[in-house]
Structure 1
């Protein structure tokens, strides 16, 4: 099901916000934040000053953290305001933030990439609840789709250009180790983009250039495919009171497709996990 008329040049970062009863997502290239209210299907949007790859809700303050070209921002909607929150170490000019998730302890894990997507100048960062930012892993050309297992033990992260998804052991203190190649996409699948876990431990991955989202089992085998009428599928999020509705973002930039850049809703056949928020409890 296609959920609205407007198309995104590069839809990304879908986030369910239960307190608002709404799905948020960004259009990176058009510099917009979108909101779909599930109660009445109304859509609102806000213009952003920079290309922004993600928003994560806060539990210690109103609004969101947002990942922009120049660093991490604090964003509120009522009133609309964007303020600097944290700088990124070793963040070269021409890079931007691309995708992020919060973990159970309130930290945000976020990747960066060159805007041109053609050189390995990106990195994977940890944003601590006190605002300190550190590099967790590098290099990346297109850092994408962090996802954290429901038990909090494993963190998954992707370099889309390499077609590779890695698994790290995530410790309570926020350190990562035991990095392993978990999955390499076959060429016929497209390339791996955004991802999220469901409540049963299945890992859903968007296929950029592959026109679908897939559910992978713990052994990295495809267990389920959901095909979509657009090629550039970017990410997905579970939403709704029971977290049993899945919304999928896509990109229309560079393709001539009637549904490229649409926001889709699909039936995943499984419930998701409530997204974590940034900040101290």
Structure 2
């Protein structure tokens, strides 16, 4: 097994997701969706702080002007940490019983792309949304059963988005007005690869995908060809992010819900053998 460290802390995540590197705070943020928590780990001393939320904590993204924006339940909120104060911005999937936000990323223009899923993960009632810096929320695509892992081309030409239930990473061209081109299959997972979950690009355009059910993160090249994997001691791998001043470390989240494993729900640190990119921030 490659260089893999397990972060020492006092709890496992029922559904760890959405790791986010903050150079401003010298910290890694991530969520435990099912336990309604946003977590923060200082890279200076590896201390972990947890912030309880009122509903599913789907994702957290930095704002350029300070603070964060977060997906809580089906609400988009402006979030002040560590005070843990929220200001509502808007909601998605109104009138769709049982749906919640699941995963999101910001693009180079400061917009957020966010998916929704049924909390039961058993029907295609989810959708994909764009949240503009002025707070406008636009329906971009549907349907999805488990909308997951948007990854944004740094130049803003396209984005990748997944339906984990279908085992497929889709590609969309991004138009100048923020609308999307047709949904096109980019990577279709083969048997034994698990199912695609959270994703991120590295500095040279490689796509790293968390492989739910396959105990690994896998790198795909710019053509979508599977290149190599890093094995991890947990089965339900959910997402990954580059971190650190040199962006040369990778942190990987996992889930304990539904499995009995020693390291299920752990936060892992791995040496990916490459560097990442700074995450985009929300301009709202």
**Is TM > 0.5 for Structure 1 vs Structure 2?**
yes
**What is the rounded CA distance, in whole Å, between the counterparts of 2:45 and 2:57 in structure 1?**
26
Change in CA separation of 1:39 and 1:91 when aligned onto 2, cut-off 3 Å: farther
The reply to whether residue 32 of structure 1 matches residue 37 of structure 2 is yes
**What is the rounded CA distance, in whole Å, between the counterparts of 2:114 and 2:168 in structure 1?**
17
Query: Does the 8 A contact of 2:53 with 2:72 survive in 1?
Result: no
**What is the rounded CA distance, in whole Å, between the counterparts of 1:91 and 1:172 in structure 2?**
30
**What is the rounded CA distance, in whole Å, between the counterparts of 1:91 and 1:268 in structure 2?**
42
Report deviation, 1:86.
1.2
- Other structure's SS at 1:226 match: strand
Report deviation, 1:161.
0.4
- Other structure's SS at 1:161 match: helix
Report deviation, 1:88.
1.8
Change in CA separation of 1:91 and 1:237 when aligned onto 2, cut-off 3 Å: farther
**Deviation digits for residues 171-200 of structure 1, max 9, x if unmatched?**
232111042111111121111000000010
Alignment-derived partner of residue 26 in structure 2: 21
- Other structure's SS at 2:192 match: helix
Match of 2:241 among 237, 243, 251: 237
Once superposed, what is the RMSD of the aligned Cα atoms? 1.1
- Structure 2 gap ranges (5+): none
> Which deviates the most, 242-251 or 217-226?
217-226
**What is the rounded CA distance, in whole Å, between the counterparts of 1:91 and 1:102 in structure 2?**
26
Alignment-derived partner of residue 155 in structure 1: 159
Alignment-derived partner of residue 142 in structure 2: 138
**What is the rounded CA distance, in whole Å, between the counterparts of 1:91 and 1:3 in structure 2?**
40
**What is the rounded CA distance, in whole Å, between the counterparts of 1:78 and 1:239 in structure 2?**
20
Alignment-derived partner of residue 194 in structure 2: 190
- Other structure's SS at 1:155 match: strand
* Paired residue total: 279
Match of 2:46 among 36, 41, 47: 41
Query: Does the 8 A contact of 2:128 with 2:139 survive in 1?
Result: yes
- Structure 1 gap ranges (5+): none
**What is the rounded CA distance, in whole Å, between the counterparts of 1:2 and 1:141 in structure 2?**
31
